Structure 1
């Protein structure tokens, strides 16, 4: 029974041992050349976990393993969490006995050993009469009490090896005032990094220091402003050995006062000499004190403190001291109070522009590098040794519009509120932050005049310029108000910040006028819209937002350019920078203001024309893509030119009319001149009962009664027989100018017979044949009617019956002069008084020729 009951217990113990042996941890370690890697078990740890080296029968396991060869070694732990049991130490030896200069001490890469507590140690050695000098990078080291831990879990310890034994110089953390430590002969620097903490390397330099009698020498640079720094003597826990010297060198900022205070100390029991406490001030003044004396206070300048221990009695506790050095600013500060409780949304910021200066600023008795007085608060400010030219005062006013119905922003004038006059620094910048509701647009304009955008070709040099940006920080541009400005309004679809920057004024608070007027408008599609009215005297420059840098991706800008009547706009692209886009493109479009026709546009892969001319107001729109490389930036300018085409047309029309009139006048003059040209052979004619005249005479001596202006080639029947027509028709003499076209005309009346007796001329018609003219050379003093603009004289029939003095006997004596019989013509000679000799024309002639006359004898 007993054997059967022990068997399961034995089997269980065997399985448990196998399970424990299976819980092991294996790592590979490759030491650097000159480096010693040691795994050692922590104190008071269980003995059931060992570190093993090797494999098979040759494997050895112990509580400590040291690796010195620079080769990869497999290390096994027979427990699953070896980091809880073992500590990893990595040691390097630096021997400067034969000389070394500024050796950079680096930390080996131990990222694979983060599960262990790591100890990095460096053993340092120089000649026995010299010191090992350690220089730590800024901000230096800070000394702490023994067994105290550093906040970042990186703790440094410095040891020195003397004949009397090892001495702990101190324990240190980073971010302190100690910049250099010098130890005599031999020393060791160790850095302990806690388990699970990433190593934060902080290299330091090793060099050979000067010869000295001191065991340790510490250099500390006290910080600027108010501070309190603690220091401890070596071996602070057990005390300093007999006859040891320690020296601290303190560097104090100018205009600062330092005070030494002994906090805690243990006085030694001296058998020879006495404990020496000696101060050497910056002016080489030497002060000697005891432990119970008041130490130097409110001293300016650098100083050093030397402690020399006495030859103390054996078996007594050594000397230990804990002291601090406090630093305060000297001088009297300037005090003022800022009250912002009565100004909504206003905050102030005061910045020291020279970080190397000795200015000390306080707000409510707390030292501040930069002072920020929040909106709606009250603060007491203090300034000590702060030159006015090194301070910058800026103000910020928040103007929020929660909703469109309750928003009081529209119509707001942006001016600078009144500030406290006791502030020691002038106002150098002021920013308005405008927050608007969604689907609304901020409209910016001047109360009077227009804005100008500052570009390299025409920068703003006015007293104050305005930097306009969107709420995301993207810059829109810098603007100012000058005489020849052209920007009437800027519309921005976003929250806006506007910063007033002085150019020539020293204090912005002295400007009491409004810088801008803010109104709210409906939402726009573009990010920014400019309304431009160019001047005819100078060009107007149009720069994309954030010029000369590129527009932000996927943003748009539009200029509405108003072109006055009788002007044309010359749009010139002076500077164009195009990006590489994918997949969308940039676009530059031009569209007339009152037209929806085809738009001229260009992309980033097309050449933008140098100049484009617009005859009317137009839109200029530009949109950016998502650039893969490069930036989209365009600078253009608009120049107005006087439109002269209407005046040229009028002038040309007037000149053309004058030319036509001149041509007509020349032609008429030529005709008149030809008609008035005198004949080569003048002749006179016999005019019965008339007046004799010369044909070449310019004056035609006829009256209307005896000239031929009433002789007609044809007579309209209504003129002759109008009185026989319907009585309802108006009489011929009442035509009111309908038939006569407004001119005086004669009525045909029947011939009633001769009124007097005139002898009948018996000359034959043959005497006046046209052949006579040919015999005389064919010269005629009258122009052919076809060569003039005047109508031809009426052609008279060749036969004698065509004369008005001819009467056919067959005609009845009635008003209609109808024929009473048929047969041959039976002529009746009426009279010779009113008749004239009618020339006979050739039968083949189509026109009537003037007869040639001879002078009557």
Structure 2
């Protein structure tokens, strides 16, 4: 008895410490089972890890590892170790025969009681056999049961496993823990109930009773009672294995009148049916169409007041390929909300491509009960998410305690198949009023713009200039536009853009996905002032072109598309940057090197002033150019190569404006020099006129003398011509005037001379070039060339702006003149 008292003490200690063990002295136990009780006891090794020291059972002077005790037997035993709970388990099974005699209805007791059993993990099993026409009911006292899935454990370690019979087959109804809503389970043709108690638990009652009921004509009925707000998760029989073929199972829900219940399917599988159809049926109080039949793929009812029943019906399955029917669902009971009485109309009947999805936004998990958020069609078919399809009209309501837990996403397609019809046409990207009037935040609205391949491109023009989201300048607006190219085989994300920037236009070569993303419920006021227009323009070959007009207020940050993954291989993108009059734009790159290593081809950056057409070509595998000032509109073009694995091209540009300053000394020199040049030109003109008159009078051969002081070398390429002595006559040439030799050809029929036609050069007055510079050939290996940005180097005569002396990068046109040697740019004011 000392050992028994110690065992009781340890039992209480185990309850407090939740499984903490303490060795007890080995003691003797005695189990006696009455004759005809139908009870057997089996002590056997448990599914534990093998201990370091073995433990045995001692009975009748023998060491055994298994001890069975049958009805009518009495056995004394003890253990060779002080902690047998780590080695053995005990099973107590009672067979109840309700076919040859009356069933022992009423409360079920634990026999033998736990007080005479050793402190091992105990399992009490009641196997009740009944006729097919007899219904048995298991009634559970408070606290009720809660069904759990396979592999889940109960907090207190007490588990109920309930099975039924179909002929000779056993069907698993479910595994249950305490503290739930399941109050009764009705079975047809017998029941098998197993109660699992951990060794440290002091429970000494079964907690259920058996009652007799009439035939239920189905596998089972599970009753779930709700006292207030809460939820219950339930599963079909044999879950997660297949539901028995052509069987019927029912759940009865008891709901307080002031609450509302909603059903949502968490996991569904259907089998392959030969006959009938798998379905669920609802009996809802007050419904005029009971039973309401739903497919397993349908949205399930919600916002139901009062008690209701839910039944799962199987089918006759294909013998060769039966499949699996299984269902896991949740019933959520909560108070009705004021919003549930308001109905909203969403009319998509005139929208051939628009769809709308209302869903729950991600929330942190909470152990407390959280009321559900449901979207209901016609106030009855409710679910946690709802998708409205095109060309239909809907009436929806909300069963939700907090509508901020929901948001919606919409998308539509704007397509154009005939390029002649779409050329220069424009469309306004607006959100329909039916969507904006819903009491749920609009998360995304996407426009899929489909452009005729290789025929047209798309241009996005905002009502207000946009700013590109960067780490240096974050968008703080209530919404933004996400722009991406969706050309077949390549998805190119251009970036996120919001109001308040310098970008006037975004041109994309092919199909475009524009997504309006909102960040605050009150975005509509700001969005109404913005607006975005898309038009179809002539096709161009670059992936994207940005038109940027900076102002003096802030710096402009621009970054290459696909910032996270890098610009795709062999992709080109350009920025058309405007410089206002009397301003200078400082172009800065935010890092010194790109870190790019090309595997095939070369990566280039071209900077071209649109007024002078002068181009500067830089290799992106080398050091990026230093900050430079631009006084006129200019292009920045970036063309990628095929980089080696792990390398990517991502550049961040900064453009800032400063007032253009002019040096007073330069102005004075220009004025004086201009006056001197004017006097010189006047003198030369007078001399030239006198000389011509003298030539005409003498009619002798005209002699021209080559001026040896004029530079005959190509700029920046010295020693192109050999040097000659200064006193040599090699530079003196005789020039014969054509009019002296071919005078007979200039006479008219009257014998008088015809004056030759004289033309003068006129500079081009048309519009400046609006196309970006053509990138070099992908495999070109032209060296990097940098040209003076403003003033030429010392020793060269300044050229007028209308006639620049520049060199271009290699292009499709042939040239025999190689690039000149690279020189550092000279940054000066104009």
TM-score (ref. length: structure 2):
0.44
Task: Between the two structures, name the one with larger relative contact order (CA 8 Å, sep ≥ 6).
Answer: 2
TM-score (ref. length: structure 1):
0.43
| Largest Rg, 1 or 2 | 1
